[in-house]
Amino acid sequence: MDIRGKKLLVIGGAGLVGSHLVEQLTAEDVGEIIVFDNFTRGTHDNLAAVAGDSRVKIIEGDITRVDILNDVMAGVDGCFHLAALWLLHCHQYPRSGFEVNALGTFNVIDACVRAGVKKLVFSSSASVYGDAVAVPMTEDHPYNNRTIYGATKIAGEHLLRAYHTRDGLDYVGLRYMNIYGPRQDYHGAYVSVIMKVLDRIDQGLPPLIFGDGSQSYDFIYVGDVALANILSMKSDATDLFLNVGMGLKTSINELVHLIIELTGTSLEPEFKEEGQTFVTHRVGSTELARESIGFTAKVPLREGLGKLIEWRKTRIKQDALVEAG
């Protein structure tokens, strides 16, 4: 879809990926950008870089509220749906996970059809795969998921297929690998392994590695994920799901030692008995995304981690000044 002059809706636009997506969209010749977020995890601070852009309009709302969602869809040409509760939240509160991620996604898709939206880009997840049966995991990898979160994303994917067949709604679903980068949560109940390692280092404590550290994942920088969303909207691709990752395997051991190197600490990791782990090995094939939407991740892990560490330092200083009054 040609996005020049178009009205675009970013649901979950104040979150980690959403705020980077909105920022990148302001560099495009679009007509209007509607940010729709309930600000449960997303923040107004995340949107500070686009605050002065007259094309950006922020609406507080929730995808469980059909009336508000239908209103905000009016006149929208393209919709990015990024709103979701995260894996651990869904694990602890499965009903909430279903209501937001599955029923909420149904609400978004149905509202898109009612409003005549031309294309929907859906944030799915590599969680639909579960543990890898084969590496790299292609998009034909079986649904091997065992989590509530993954189940809700599978539901979203099948709803999109059904609505495409029933109503002709064009869509692309993006199966994200392990996303990291600036604006990532660094406090609260659901912080990432990277933030937990940095927290331990700040406290003068050795980073913890659960198990032997051989668990391996595909880490991708948030700015690259935002780019994949824009390329999906611009492309002619429809009715397909794409991996969004680097296609590179990084073990937890390698990740922690890289963070140690970048922070300049002399602390050595401490190994502990493995706790609850939902997935131990997952690396995605990047071939179909490259062929279908022209996407190739650009930011190497070392560079991306450096950006995250610097952003985190700045935010912690800002938070300290605010608390000091």
Q: Which domains are delineated in the chain?
A: 7-181+219-247+283-298 (3.40.50.720)
Cβ atoms of 246 and 286 within 8 Å: the answer is yes
Q: Is 204 left (phi over 0), alpha (psi -120 to 50) or beta?
A: left
For 12-45, letters b (16+ CB in 10 Å) and e give: bbbbbbbbbbbbebeeeebebbbbbbbeebbeee
Render each residue's pLDDT in the chain as its tens digit; 325 residues.
Answer: 999 999 999 999 999 999 999 999 999 999 999 999 999 989 999 999 999 999 999 999 999 999 999 999 999 999 999 999 999 999 999 999 999 999 999 999 999 999 999 999 999 999 999 988 988 999 999 999 999 999 999 999 999 999 999 999 999 999 999 999 999 987 655 568 899 999 999 999 999 998 999 999 999 999 999 999 999 999 999 999 999 999 999 999 999 999 999 999 999 999 998 766 678 899 999 999 999 999 999 999 999 999 999 999 999 888 877 777 6
DSSP at 190: S
Q: Please tell me the number of Cα atoms within 13 Å of 210 on its side-chain side.
A: 10
Nearest residue to 141 (alpha-carbon basis) of 218, 199, 72, 210:
218
Cβ atoms of 176 and 123 within 8 Å: the answer is yes
What is the bridge-based pairing of β-strands 56-60 and 32-37?
Answer: parallel
DSSP at 267: -
Cβ atoms of 13 and 51 within 8 Å: the answer is no
- Rounded to whole angstroms, the Cα distance separating 298 from 295 reads 9
Q: Is 202 helix (H, G, I), strand (E, B) or coil?
A: helix
Q: What is the pLDDT of residue 277?
A: 66
**Degrees, nearest 5: CA angle 301-290-222:** 35
Cβ atoms of 288 and 139 within 8 Å: the answer is yes
Q: What is the pLDDT of residue 191?
A: 62
Q: Maximum Cα–Cα distance for the chain, whole Å?
A: 59
Structure token digits, residue 139: 């998009």
| H helix intervals, 235-300 | 252-263, 287-293
Q: What is the pLDDT of residue 323?
A: 75
